[in-house]
Structure 1
């Protein structure tokens, strides 16, 4: 006799107190293993974001530790292009409190705009991403999951989110990250270096500039993700990655851009990690595209 699988537990209701001093205002999103809530901080007298492991996955070993590790990193890091964490709680459940960001993710921005962002705005975004990634690398971490949904932009100022799959450089299992955005070496598994995040910068800017990814990942596979604790790919075929079969077409085949900007983006997407530019070199290339009076200043992305 077969038994139906129990449905996932519903999100916490408004008014619930997930930790002392915090009250749930609304459920924001549910990922494969997390719930995110709009919450009120009594101590700060402001809104914040509360991140917790989904109720139906709290029994899984390692997920709570993974969340708390991310929260501790974000509490200790201080950078204008990284989201901040305020607090972490180990009980009554593993929980991280993050700042509330205004603006919208690049994913929403790309789909909302009727025209593609100006080349100078793409270059400025590249400068901000390079700044955040350079800082993370200085802290001994690779981000490994740069993508438009992990970047929030407000009035031209970008902030990078989500260190849930971050790890130090070195050996890693295949598939850690998000399917369509993985560097080839992430897809294969093995030694990961700063070049994997350079790929992440390039593929993110490619999608923002062109409105689409450089690879056809197949319907419904864009959110396929790997698990940092096991390396398992959760959906779809785990032995097929377009990044391992094809070279990314030049961004200039999809969109007219200044030659130097296009060359920088294309350089990020070289299959060989050693052929990609270093983060400092890449940042200099993006900044060179900006008018001199706009360098180190945040112009507004188009409405």
Structure 2
């Protein structure tokens, strides 16, 4: 259908294309009622046939329309176009480029620009989180940079409506999976901490020109995110140690160890921007990030960083408010009291007193050494070297890695964990070497295998395939065919019109995938002909008797 000049919703006249994505096309349009230009996002036709999605879309658009913030693209209107039943949303028209285009053209941004953009994004997310709205799809394509350099976040709520629609939009999934949080990849509950993770990846990319996890497929990227910690951004480009630590905390795999919401992340970035030469004030939750930055900042920065603040590791995560970090001139270093000038030595001290003290120390040291040699050789006649204490390894298989770490620390053993796909619960130790019962010395290293959960695979596209074809496709991907539900549709009869979960979602290997199959268009009942009224029988008039003819008179 020709779009230019088309009237959407009886009000918005399409002027020119602005862009397109996996789930929608975006158009410049004229609001003929208010005589202003707007952006109209038309969702792709496959969404129009799902009544449940339409209801969710309206609810999410209504929620997004309630947000008012200078860094959020305003939503003006939404609805269903009667011409083709497509869902549309009308937004503020932003003149500029999205961040994805900017990064494609420039590769990366300066530290100053990256932090400025990240703070603006975090401020927008903070406003949404306060209203209970999670974006769910924070990525450069949803970050707009105006011609004046202002930052605006778009598409609030739409990702949730799409994710719950049980529809297949492969392009959207592949484009977004690079920024998904681990809990999104697993299908777990999504909170504000998920947006924090996604923003951490965006900031990482702005600074380095690359994402922390790359792969040939959505499944490959998701698997790396579930099983690996990212390398610090300073691995690829010079990034200040404090800023690197903030990013690494945002990218913690465990949501409880991240900044709990975007407001906390924004505040951490503001504090760092005011004092960029000081270590980031992160506590236990950020220790991984600090360790990653050790090569840049050095051991002194690490010690000051870890001592600056403490974040509880149990219970509800507290909102992170970075404390002020004292400058080197007024803070204690490595637990020592602040530096004070040594008192002046009194002049005129006799030199021979110092000589006597030195001789006394030498004498005491000699006596102590001889005593230890004599006592150590009693009963054996020889000097022996004390043996290093040995311990029997407990059986850690089947126990949570957190419990195993505590046990290892108490025994003075160093753990060397590795992630392995397994049907066992995530975080459970499934193997150890040396095995349980082995006697090892304190300080020894023990390798443990930790379950990362079942092997994950990506749901393949199934739309348009017959049931048999879909079954074969799923088997090739390591999945099984679940329930098959017929539904009236304009698609070819017997072909898949959607799958649950949708294509691109990452699920455990062997999981069932249900499909909805077209049963053909809804039959239109033929109109029942209205019977014509039965005519009443025609009453024929009884003929009047003819008058008798009188016989002629003779």
TM-score, normalised on structure 1? Answer: 0.77
Task: Give the unaligned 5+ runs of structure 1.
Answer: 1-9, 168-174, 222-235, 293-303
SS across alignment from 1:13? coil
Mean Cα deviation higher: 267-276 or 84-93: 84-93
Match of 2:33 in 1: 43
Written as runs of structure 1 = structure 2, the 5 A alignment for 1:136-285 is: 136-154=128-146, 155-163=148-156, 164-166=158-160, 178-218=176-216, 221=217, 237=219, 241-278=223-260, 279-285=262-268
Report matched runs for 1:118-137 at 5 Å. 118-137=110-129
Larger radius of gyration: 2
Gaps of 5+ in 2: 162-169, 276-554
Matched with 2:101 is 108
Distance 1:62 1:109 in 2: 36
Distance in 2 (CA, whole Å) between partners of 1:239 and 1:130 is: 24
Counterpart of 1:153 in 2: which secondary structure?
strand
Preserved contact between residue 9 and residue 80 of structure 2 (Cα < 8 Å): no
Q: Distance in 2 between matches of 1:31 and 1:195?
A: 26
Aligned partner of 1:229 in structure 2 is none
- Structure 1 counterpart of 2:22: 32
Contact 2:136/2:190 (8 A) holds in 1: no
> Which deviates more from structure 2 when the two are superposed, residues 278-287 or residues 135-144?
278-287
Q: Is the 8 A contact 1:83 1:99 kept in 2?
A: yes
Following superposition, the deviation at residue 141 of structure 1 comes to: 1.6
Following superposition, the deviation at residue 73 of structure 1 comes to: 2.0
- String of CA shifts for 1:146-174, please: whole Å, max 9, x gaps: 0111101123321111121248xxxxxxx
Count of aligned pairs between the two proteins? 258
- Tell me how large the CA RMSD over aligned residues is: 2.5
Structure 2 CA distance, aligned partners of 1:73 and 1:189?
Answer: 23
Q: Distance in 2 between matches of 1:284 and 1:238?
A: 33
| TM-fit CA distance, 1:240 | 5.1
1:158–1:199 CA distance, 2 compared to 1 (3 A): same
Q: CA deviation at 1:210?
A: 0.9
Instruction: Identify the residue that residue 19 of structure 1 maps to in structure 2.
Output: 9
Q: Equivalent residue of 2:200, what SS?
A: helix
> Per-residue CA shift, 1:30-63, capped at 9, x if unaligned?
3333232211112232211112232354223433
Match of 1:87 in 2: 77
Residue 393 of structure 2 corresponds to none
What does the per-residue CA deviation read over 1:164-199, in whole Å, with 9 as the maximum and x for residues that have no partner?
1248xxxxxxx9972111111111122332211110
Mapped partners of 1:120, 1:289: distance in 2: 11
Q: Deviations over 1:88-121 (max 9, x none)?
A: 234524321111111211101111116x322121
